[in-house]
Amino acid sequence: MVILLDLDGTITNTVHPGWKAYKDGISFYPVDNIPFFDGAIDFIQHRRNRGDKLLIASDSHPKFVIPIAEKLNLPALSLCNKPNTNKLRVFLNENNVLPNEPILFVGDSTLDVELGRRIGARTAWLLPYHITEEIVNVQDGIGDTMSCVKMGPTYSIKTYHELNQIIESPNENLYVAESLHLGSTSIRPIVFSENSRVDGTCSSIYCLGRQEQGLCDDAAIASLYYEMQRKDRSEETVNLLAKSVSFFLNQDCFSRQNWDYLSYINDKTTTIPKNKLKDIFEKIETRFEKKELFYWGKEIDGSLRKRESYTERRTFLENNLSVKDIMQIAGKNIIVLDDQLTTGATAWFVIQKLKDAGAKNIMFIAIFQMILNVFSEKHCPICGKQLYIKINRTNGKRFYSCLSPVYGGNGCGYIENII
């Protein structure tokens, strides 16, 4: 396997702004005094002994990067210009990385995850340090955990020990639904949010798989999402998604907790096709009592999907989605299932509504998480505009599209299948 490693914040503990002059090549810092994260050097040596090919890809200046790379005896690319792939592709070619070799890109920032996605690699978002206000750099995606989650890394980890586990058993450490789809088993969720409240209760939001936009790695499951939107969805897919929820809920840490109800956000009467989530919900195997706690108003203007911003979605929910059986909610611990998480508006709305009704602990689970788009670097051979990567909703296959005005773009309509 080829393992691409970011440097600052991944191998070396140099994310603090005080390191900027050294990383920019303006000042010199003795390489023997540079702090490495726990386990980083041992990890590099261990993977080298296992026959993996390790490379460094950094945005820092060569004066800073090269001495560290030489100390580690690793090839390194400086001034990488993330997330642009041009320099990285040349670097990979120079180091004899073959087009079909499996690559794992490991980094701590949004740009690292995006760069990995642009070359079609699996990505590991490694966060080995504690985030403080002074190290957050939104432009470079450093310390912005929500942006990293939304960018859709293949794995989210905190230690090199976990990274070794992932490399040794990659599919067994994917997110729950993705792992099952590839014939393995896992209980890892995407952690969108975990909040402990001052009253001692907790509200959490998890997702079980990534619904990708644009380029992504081979594990994301947009094909399953689009199949669930069709009338001819297969029983096999419904069973797989129900099984992924069951796997997640039946792990020991949840079984020991006193969850009272498992509910779900039911379809509106106007939803086509009908009963997408209900079909999954009814097949979930769990010891928790299943209970319908939500209902939509009879007259609904439009749909949630067409509201793009968080504020618009929140307003739509306030006007149309309600909680029933409020007297049975007070003091209860409740799990709520939904099909997709996009902005988080539905999750936070549901959590707040249940808290207002007196619920204690709340766990919101979305089967799919919509992740940020990563655009193609190809351009249309007819009109020269940037090509989008789209997914065929019928068969789940990817294709390049020069979006025409009919589909919200300004292109000529050229289409090319992705092999």
pLDDT in tens, the chain (419 residues): 999 999 999 999 999 999 999 999 999 999 999 999 999 999 999 999 999 999 999 999 999 999 999 999 999 999 999 999 999 999 999 999 998 899 999 999 999 999 999 999 999 999 999 888 777 776 666 778 999 999 999 999 999 999 999 999 999 999 999 999 999 999 999 999 998 887 888 999 999 999 988 889 999 999 899 999 888 899 999 999 999 999 999 988 776 678 999 999 988 777 777 778 999 999 999 999 999 999 888 877 777 777 778 888 888 899 889 998 788 899 999 999 999 999 999 999 999 999 999 999 999 999 999 999 887 788 999 999 989 888 887 777 889 999 999 888 899 999 999 87
Closest CA to 40 of 15, 64, 12, 68: 12
pLDDT confidence of residue 197: 80
pLDDT confidence of residue 204: 96
Burial (0-12, 13-18, 19+ Cβ within 10 Å), 308: exposed
Q: Which domains does the chain carry?
A: 2-168 (3.40.50.1000), 190-373 (3.40.50.2020)
pLDDT confidence of residue 377: 80
Length of the chain: 419
Q: Would the pTM of this model clear 0.85, i.e. be above it? A: yes
Report d(CA 168, CA 104) in Å as an integer: 12
User: For the packed helices 276-283 and 235-249, what is the interaxial angle rounded to 10 degrees?
Assistant: 50
Residue 82 in tokens: 């993330």
Report d(CA 317, CA 340) in Å as an integer: 15
